[in-house]
Structure 1
Amino acid sequence: MLNKNLKEILDGNIELPTLPDVIMRLLSAVDNPESTAPDIARIIGSDQSLMAKILKLVNSPFYGMPRQISTLTQATVVMGFTAIRNIALTIAVFDEFELGAAVPEKFGYTREKLWEHSIATAITANVIAHKINYAKKEDAFIAGLIHDIGKVVFDRFCHEDFVTALTLADASGRSLFDAEVDIFGESHAFIGSWVTEKWQLPSHLVDSIRYHHTPDKGEVELKLVEIVHAANNLVHAEGYGNGGDDIVPEINGLFQKTFGFSQHDLHELKLEVKQNFESAVEFFQTVA
């Protein structure tokens, strides 16, 4: 049975943040095969703050551009439509969502720690995508970044119930996912996919959020779901940030079974994630 507060959200009685109109128009334009780089630049240019942030991020050390990118059209041509969409979406998510009241200190779960976890998951998903030659590498990054957006929804709009779920997970030694299902009747993966579907994000991104704990149920693009699931587990095991779970997953067998990774492959993956993490945190501090 659905928790009362979650039902209020699903019934539309609690107003959740929506993506700005400029982002919605950008999403539509990127999906339109007739759109051009100047079209994308004009849409973004209608929001001066968004334009400035995108140019700042594109020129950050994280992307390592060989020369300064000075215009949105140039950025769109160099980066590609999908990458620009994902940068804009990242900015919008950071701008629209704030966590609610402070979670008790003992859980180690803060907005900063959650975003560190999310950033590390994004990096890991991106590295995995490159190593297995997954075609939609930029989507692996954004899927990793927003995979836990449902936790932000729970924390902000159902805060007391979310703390109860954290408490239950901590006391019982179970996963936060399972504790949420007990308290809310659904998990952060469900509400995250519900919100992003309302935002009209591409179905394969929504699917990766919905099933990042249950990859065998993936419906749209199983490989992306597997990438996010594996990335999330590795980040938990390596201790980047804090997603609200104390359970340390076993990752060796997971990576061997899913991607055919040897112990050496997994070691190389961990090193690459570690090398990229600091620059990525600096990158996202530019957004905040």
Structure 2
Amino acid sequence: MFKRLLALFTRNDSPASAMPRAGSSTQPPLSIDEDERIQEAFLGLVLGVHSPQDIALNHFEHKSLKRLRSLADSGLGDVQLVPRMPSVLPRLMSYFRDPETTSKELADLIGRDLVSVTEVMRLANSPYYRRSSAARSLEQAVVVLGQRGLRQLAANLLIKPLFTGHKGHFSNLAGPLLWTQSEKTAVLYAAMAHDAGSDEFVAYLAGLVANLGLLVGCRVLDQAFDGQQTPSSREFRQCWQSASRDLAVGVARVWELPDGVGDVLQGLQVETGLPDTCASQQLYAAERLSELHCLHQHGRRELPAPGEFTASSLLQTYYPLMLSEMRRFTG
């Protein structure tokens, strides 16, 4: 647990952090076939159906897609399906952006959540920080962690329960997996933002919430599922993911997250090929590579040497960075 958390909070410059930046003008794609195979295999884990077929939509698939589209058209008003933003998150983001915020003010804000208090104190007193004396107050622990580590920890603690607190066949199957992949995406995308001199926290937040649409999609499947039919068609998978992308953008806007979060999620909504903007290309790469790492951990893919990795040139660019960051993330 601590090794994974520490990987989120401490990132020293290393050879991996000197990776070239991606951009549509300098990184023409070689092939996105492997990118698509990674994505399809990961969705197989999410849905529990590993071999989609080129068949017509069944009744269950039709019903689920119709509900997803109506949810987006209705302004995401169904509180049973669409997660509400953690109430403390807006103030937390505001505090982190205010250079005048004191450690005591941050401690007071976090102190309203006993789980956060426990995790902050435990991490601040872990062997990694090698303090001569233990942090005995929440304010001391805030100082030890620093603002970067604290805000990422806080984002995790606030958003993770959304992925693990819903019951249902597909939510139970996919929730923990989607959360794990979200964490890895956030770590990779924040590392890319660090290298590009962009806002790491906005990138980290975008990575964490990028799967909220898929999470809502799983809740919709739960409501329609009677055990008779499964999401087996390739057409459903494509439509379901596209609708879930729309929902993720909608959730980011309803939550009033920083503009950069909604913009980069919006940029992922392309029918074919790679996204047009550099920021969305980087998030696309972080998603595919984190999916690959999840597949590896589930015994579905091997991790080849960098020179043997065949995918789009965009993914090849960031593959060594993924290997480096995931070693830190998994300990």
TM-score, normalization by structure 2: 0.60
Letter in structure 2 aligned against 1:147: A
Which whole-Å CA distance do the structure 1 matches of 2:325 and 2:290 have between them? 9
2:268·2:275 contact (CA, 8 Å) conserved in 1? no
Match of 2:83 in 1: 17
Cα distance in 2 for partners of 1:274, 1:112 equals 18
**Amino acid corresponding to residue 236 of structure 1 in structure 2:** E
Aligned to 2:211: 148
Q: Deviations over 1:173-221 (max 9, x none)?
A: x694x3226xxxx522221122122222222123333334546355xxx
Which residue of 1 is the match for residue 94 of structure 2?
Answer: 28
1:286 is matched with: none
Q: What secondary structure does 1:251 align onto?
A: coil
Matches within 5 A, 1:43-122: 43-59=109-125, 64-67=128-131, 68-97=134-163, 98-103=165-170, 110-122=174-186
What is the aligned partner in structure 1 of residue 261 from structure 2?
A: 205
Give the one of 164, 168, 171 matched to 2:233: 171
1-structure distance, mates of 2:126, 2:193: 22
Question: SS of 1:103's equivalent?
Answer: helix
Q: Structure 1 residues 120-129 or 190-199, which shifts more? A: 120-129
| Aligned CA distance change for structure 1 residues 84 and 208 (closer, same or farther; 3 Å) | farther
Q: Contact 2:289 / 2:315 at 8 angstroms: preserved in 1?
A: no
Whether the 8 Å contact between 2:249 and 2:266 is mirrored in structure 1 is yes
Closer/same/farther in 2, CA of residues 236 and 191 from structure 1, 3 Å limit: same
Residue 123 of structure 1: how far off its partner (Å): 3.1
Matches within 5 A, 1:108-257: 110-130=174-194, 132-160=195-223, 170-172=232-234, 176=237, 178-180=238-240, 187-212=243-268, 214=270, 216=275, 222-223=278-279, 225-238=280-293, 239-240=295-296, 251-255=311-315
Q: Do the aligned partners of 1:83 and 1:138 also contact (CA within 8 Å) in 2?
A: no
Change (3 A) 1:49 1:270: closer
> 1:38 aligned to 85, 98, 104, which one?
104
CA contact (8 A) 2:269 2:275 kept: no
1:197-248 deviation line (CA, Å, top 9, x unaligned): 2222222123333334546355xxx43x332211111233442568xxxxxx
- Paired with 1:211 and 1:159, the residues of 2 have a C-alpha distance of 28
Once superposed, what is the RMSD of the aligned Cα atoms? 3.8
Q: In the alignment, is the contact (CA less than 8 A) between 1:213 and 1:229 conserved in 2?
A: no
Q: Alpha-carbon deviation of 1:12?
A: 5.1
The Cα of 1:45 is off from its aligned counterpart by 1.8
CA contact 1:99–1:152 (8 Å) conserved in 2: no
Match of 2:324 in 1: 272
Change (3 A) 1:33 1:217: farther
Q: Whose radius of gyration is greater, 1 or 2?
A: 2
CA offsets per residue over residues 130-188 of structure 1, 9 Å max, x none? 5x34343344334323321111112124535699xx955x533x694x3226xxxx522
Contact 1:113–1:241, Cα closer than 8 Å, also in 2: no
Kindly indicate whether the alpha-carbon contact (under 8 Å) linking 1:22 and 1:47 is maintained by their aligned counterparts in 2: no
* Residues 56 and 202 (structure 1), Cα distance of their counterparts in 2 relative to 1, 3 Å cut: farther
Match of 2:170, SS state, is coil
Letter in 1 for 2:275: D
Provide the rounded CA distance (Å) in 2 between the counterparts of 1:84 and 1:162: 40
- CA 66–138 in structure 1, closer or farther in 2 if over 3 Å, else same: farther
Q: Which runs of 4+ in 1 moved over 4 A?
A: 57-61, 160-163
